[in-house]
Structure 1
């Protein structure tokens, strides 16, 4: 009887208590159980989420500016031996001067072209409809004319309904709009103060956070923080730099060919370029529509400008600015953007790649640690190596 109980105890120890896979499943079950419990008491966390949503915009804006300005501050402090506070003050003055120049020179042109585009958009839309109708009278389209007309009418109905819904939502959410404007004002007001202290004391943040980990893990945890910081900074600086030069190239190209509303289209192309792979192609659509309404020759010129911009961006700017630091396959990036857009909309598209990079770094380090401590990944030596080792042992013993 005792032997049987001892046998059952050994089986239980071997299959549950001493089994790493069972322990992993129990930890996984505990993890999801904790998530389930927090989901049931989510009302307790509502004040914390409200607080987090309130401070997120200024902190996010300050973080983006930090990654752009911190390398300059570090360079002035390390190479030119300029005190850090003075370097920050110099950068603030330069930024203010640039903002004043943009407000004086670019904003009036942008406002004029935007107002003109809004005013003339009904005429542009009518011209587009006439162009499509004239194209439909081509005898070569007799077989598909009915399907095309049906598709166009369906698209027009959807656009009208979407416009009506947007107006209704805008009227119903006037107070939400006021809240958004208040949030924007508070973000612009508080972000410079947050940025100042991030630039002043940000280099001390990583050692401070590393102290949270146990002493044996502080070195590896510090390396993890360094890799995450490098990945995020590379992405932020790279995307903003590439977006800036994309806007400049489109502005120069549209000015050369004389495309109407070139400044608005160039700035929108630069902003949309923050969305990898899809942004620039989305931004080129209104340019193509305006080019078609202008003349067939203008359409060819816009396509040439787009081809030149894509060549320079893909062959020169992106390799120099971003390079292969993100180490992401294009297929992975595209699938990630599609999935993130379906889950979190525009925010998911913007933050999908940096979040993926951070998660990838953490998972890779955890997996490497697991390979070191697990016996599953011990290298099995070939028989020839074993014989060599045995012979070496014999010679050593002699």
Structure 2
């Protein structure tokens, strides 16, 4: 009887508990149960969401400036033995001077170009409408003509619906605008303080957090935090540097060809370049729209500037400043941008890639830990450590 029970137990263990496929299904089931329970008790996380909504913007802005300025602080401390407080103070003075210079020089230029664009917009709109009417009046473009008319009617209806919505919810709209302006001022006022202490004590934060962890988990935690910090710092510094270079190249190119609102369109192109892969395409839209109002030859000049810029960016600037630090496949990047943009909007498009990088590091570390501590991969590890033996020579 005991032998029969042992054989049954061994068969159950072999077919169920020691089966990789069944174990994988059990793990997936447990994960789905955890996700369901977190969704059921999501009201618990509402205070956390409210807290992050209040302090999230200053922390994010301070984090971006931290990754830009911290290498200089570390370099001065190691190279010249300068105290971090002194280096941080010098950086704050230089940054403030740059902001004041930009406000005194660049803001008036941008304001004039925006005012000019707004004043001449009706003329531009009438010109493009006349061209569309000329193109669609031909019988060969009958289908295009009907599509333009239907699109215009749909656009008019959409604008009317938006206007009525704004009219009916004027109070809430004003309140939303006021809260947004208040958040901007709070961010501007508080992020320098957060940035100062991040630069001063940020390098000590991982070591401080490890004292609350078990001794065996400290080394793995430090390695994970270091990898995440390296991924995010390379991405932020690289993307911002490339965006600045793109804006500078487009500005110079558009000034040479005489495109109206050259620097305004160049700055827009630089901001759009923060969106990986899709940013380059989106950056062409404002230039093409303005170039259509000037002449067909201007479109050719814009295309030449775009080709030169893309060549320099792809062959020289991006490999030097950005490289392949994240090692993410282009198809994966497009999927992340589409999904994150659909879920979180513009914020998701901008922060989707670094968020994916963090999740990727955590998931890979968790998988390595699970593979090392479970008995499911013993055969794989055994095969990995097997050294092929060369056949013994034979005498003929």
1:62 CA displacement: 0.5
Moved more, 299-308 or 224-233: 299-308
1:382 CA displacement: 7.7
Cross-structure match for 1:57:
57
- 2:83 is equivalent to residue 87 of structure 1: no
- 2:198 is equivalent to residue 198 of structure 1: yes
Q: TM-score, normalised by structure 1?
A: 0.89
- 2:389 is equivalent to residue 385 of structure 1: yes
Moved more, 284-293 or 31-40: 31-40
Match 2:145 to one of 139, 143, 149: 149
- 2:67 is equivalent to residue 67 of structure 1: yes
Count of aligned positions? 384
Q: Structure 1's 385 and 85: CA in aligned 2 closer, same or farther, altered over 3 A?
A: same
CA deviations on 1:224-278 (whole Å, 9 max, x unpaired) are 1111110011111111111111111111111111111112111111111111111
* Inter-partner Cα distance in structure 1 for 2:387 and 2:233: 48
Check conservation: 1:371, 1:377, Cα contact below 8 A: no
* Inter-partner Cα distance in structure 2 for 1:113 and 1:90: 34
* Inter-partner Cα distance in structure 1 for 2:166 and 2:254: 33
* Inter-partner Cα distance in structure 1 for 2:202 and 2:388: 55
* Inter-partner Cα distance in structure 2 for 1:384 and 1:71: 47
CA deviations on 1:128-174 (whole Å, 9 max, x unpaired) are 11112223356xxx43x111112212332333344344444555222
1:21 CA displacement: 5.4
1:5 CA displacement: 4.2
* Inter-partner Cα distance in structure 2 for 1:382 and 1:74: 45
CA deviations on 1:306-360 (whole Å, 9 max, x unpaired) are 1111111111110000112111222222232223223332222212211222222
Alignment partner of 1:79: what SS? helix
Alignment partner of 1:325: what SS? coil
* Inter-partner Cα distance in structure 2 for 1:231 and 1:47: 30
1:176 CA displacement: 1.2
Moved more, 362-371 or 345-354: 362-371
Alignment partner of 1:324: what SS? coil
* Inter-partner Cα distance in structure 2 for 1:105 and 1:78: 36
Cross-structure match for 1:336:
336
- 2:37 is equivalent to residue 37 of structure 1: yes
Cross-structure match for 2:159:
163
